[in-house]
Structure 1
Amino acid sequence: MDVNSVTGILLASVAIIGGQVLEGGHVGSLLQAAAFLIVMGGTVGAVLLQSPVKIFVNGVRMASWVFYPPENSPQNLIKQIINWSHISRKEGLLALELHIPTAKDPFSKKGLQLLADGSTPEKLREVLEIDILALETHQRQSARIWEAAGGYAPTIGILGAVLGLIHVMENLSDPSLLGSGIAVAFVATIYGVGLANLVFLPIANKLKNIIGEHVVMQEMMVDGFVAIANGENPRLIESRLKGYYI
């Protein structure tokens, strides 16, 4: 689990709720079902309107990366590439075909298959970079649904505030209904701005960082495969790949 994500959410929640309590307010006053329904329903609807279903569903699934990001270990990847390099130098590129089932992901399996098939370094790089571009584009489009939600939520919150004020104006003759209408008005704004800046936009930026790290790992793998295809010395390959991370 990503400790930073958990710590960030807890810290933000404690700061806001704690500030409310210190000011003499009640936590219950921040809980308004009508305001939450307006903001969340309106935001989800707007995001659905602009996004294909496949992109939307994938974006929601990717939210789990905020707490459980995909494992990216450059050191382990370099060790694996160097091992493949030693095998290819000792037994030939065709021997790598036996190691395809042990590869952890489809991308590395495809690279090993291309090596075993005797693809030229240029063709190997061309094919794998197309895969990287396609996957990165799809993932970034999916991550943008959270960025879009962060843009819509504050506006929907203002819409909820206006609806609450309309409700207040309609019931000026009944003072007992004024409090609930004003509460919905202000809490809707809090929900819109709070969700945008404390949830939606941070998730979008976190996902972008994770996607960027994953792309770097794949580019590292491509360089390793090309070096193996060129028959380069494993030590030279290791030295080059270490330049991808600090």
Structure 2
Amino acid sequence: MAVIIGIIIVLSAIFGGFILEGGHLGPLFQPYELLMIGGGALGAFVISNDRESRNATFKALSTIFQSARQSRELYLELLSLLFEIFSKVRKEGLMSIEYDMDHPYESPLFEKYRLVTADHHLVEFISDYFRLMVSGNMDPFQIENLMDNEIEVHHQDGEIAIHAINKLADGLPAFGIVAAVMGIVHTMGSVGMPPAELGSLIGAALVGTFLGILLSYGVFSPLANLLDRKLQESTKVYQCIKVAMIASMNGYAPTLAVEFGRKLVSSSRRPNFRELEEHLRPAKKAGNR
């Protein structure tokens, strides 16, 4: 919704100001200029990106109207899940979670946390590293290094679409200039026409430059910034898991381990200490039985 509101504000301010100063919207309607700009930019996008990049870009653009998944409720569920896993490992040993990690969607540990299981990437990240802990003899430093590398790959994958959209935004003003030049060429070929008609042709040519700049700085560049912000937030979830797991591997109690993870959450989404304690209370009671 915020994206739509922002675009409406941009268009209303620009076109509204134009009307208020006495302009008319009719001359701004230049479909052929838009065809040259849009078609040129689309062609350049296809040339400069492989299938993986194009698919990633279209997938990312489909999420711009969705609210962020990284809510306070998700972090509460995530930290509670980690607490239960840590507690079970501390009480019954690593082998006790082997089935849970091999079959997370059938596990009693995971099934209570629907917001976590709704994101298969999160479930895979958690189960993979606990599975490594169960089946291997890796120390915390090795696990941490591997996690850092995977988080970096996740971030790089997310940046593919952002870079593609940024490049598209950078190219739109240039294609606007190309469309304007084509309009000027057409105008120069019509110098015998009356001044009023020549003025109309020149105005139509200048619309090309206007549209290129508007689409670049008013639409596509802000969309790239929005996707970058979403990527930063999605990366923090994995960092939160990493810090909590490494703390647990280093011997910290489950309560302290999840507290380490809580500190990695953005302040706007971070549950406070009392909220987390309240959320962990049922799991602590069940563990004391």
> Same fold by TM (over 0.5)?
yes
Larger mean CA deviation between 7-16 and 148-157 belongs to 7-16
Counterpart in the other structure of 1:143: 162
Tell me the C-alpha RMSD between the 2 structures: 2.1
Which protein shows a greater Rg?
2
Q: Using the alignment, how far apart are the partners of 1:208 and 1:123 within structure 2?
A: 29
Which of these residues, 7, 14, 19, is aligned with residue 9 of structure 1?
A: 7
Give, in whole Å, the separation in 2 of the partners of 1:114 and 1:150.
43
Structure 2 residue 19 is matched with structure 1 residue 21: yes
The structure-2 alpha-carbon separation of the partners of 1:112 and 1:184, relative to structure 1 and needing over 3 Å to count, comes to farther
What is the alpha-carbon distance in structure 2 between the residues aligned to residue 58 and residue 97 of structure 1? Answer: 34
Residues 27, 204 of structure 2: 8 Å contact kept: no
- Cα distance in 2 for partners of 1:83, 1:129 equals 24
Q: Do 1:121 and 1:226's aligned partners in 2 also have CA atoms closer than 8 Å?
A: yes
Q: Name the residue aligned to 2:224.
A: 204
Map of 2:90 onto structure 1: 89
Instruction: Check whether the contact 1:164–1:181 (CA below 8 A) recurs between aligned residues.
Output: yes
SS at match of 2:201: helix
CA 1:29–1:97: 2 relative to 1, 3 Å: farther
Counterpart-to-counterpart distance in 1, 2:78 and 2:64: 22
Question: Partners in 1 of 2:24 and 2:135 — Cα distance?
Answer: 68
Partner of 1:117: 135
Residues 95-120 of structure 1 show CA distances to partners (whole Å, capped at 9, x for unaligned) of 32333323442222322322332443
Q: CA deviation at 1:71?
A: 0.6
> Is residue 174 from structure 1 mapped to residue 193 from structure 2 by the alignment?
yes
| Post-superposition CA distance 1:180-219 (Å, at most 9, x none) | 5324312111110001101111111111111111111111
Secondary structure of the 1:210 match is helix
Aligned to 2:259: 239
Alignment TM-score, normalising by the size of structure 1: 0.89
Is the 1:59–1:146 Cα contact (8 Å) retained in structure 2? yes
Q: Deviations over 1:23-59 (max 9, x none)?
A: 2333333221111111111122223332222112212
Distance 2:28 2:76 in 1: 47
What residue number does 1:130 align with? 149
Query: What is the percentage of aligned positions where both structures have the same residue?
Result: 27
List gaps (5 residues or longer) in structure 2: 106-116, 268-289
- Structure 1 stretch 28-37 or stretch 177-186: which is displaced more? 177-186
Asked if the contact 1:39–1:192 (Cα under 8 Å) also holds between the matched residues in 2, the reply is yes
- Between stretches 75-84 and 140-149, larger displacement belongs to 75-84
SS at match of 1:65: coil
On the 8 A contact 1:47/1:149 being kept in 2, the answer is yes
Q: Which moved more, 1:210-219 or 1:65-74?
A: 65-74
| 1:224–1:237 Cα contact (<8 Å) kept | yes
Task: Point out where structure 1 has 5 or more consecutive residues left out of the alignment.
Answer: none
Instruction: Decide whether the 8 Å contact of 1:168 with 1:177 is kept in 2.
Output: no
1:241 CA drift (Å):
1.6
Distance 1:82 1:186, change over 3 A: same
For residue 164 of structure 1, what is the amino acid of its counterpart?
G
Question: Are 2:247 and 2:260, in contact at CA under 8 Å, matched by a contact in 1?
Answer: no
Report Cα offsets for 1:131-155 as digits up to 9, x if no partner: 2111211211221111111111111
Distance in 2 separating the partners of 1:151 and 1:123: 41
> How many residues of Structure 1 are paired with residues of Structure 2 in the alignment?
244
Give the Cα separation in 2 of the matches to 1:159 and 1:87.
65
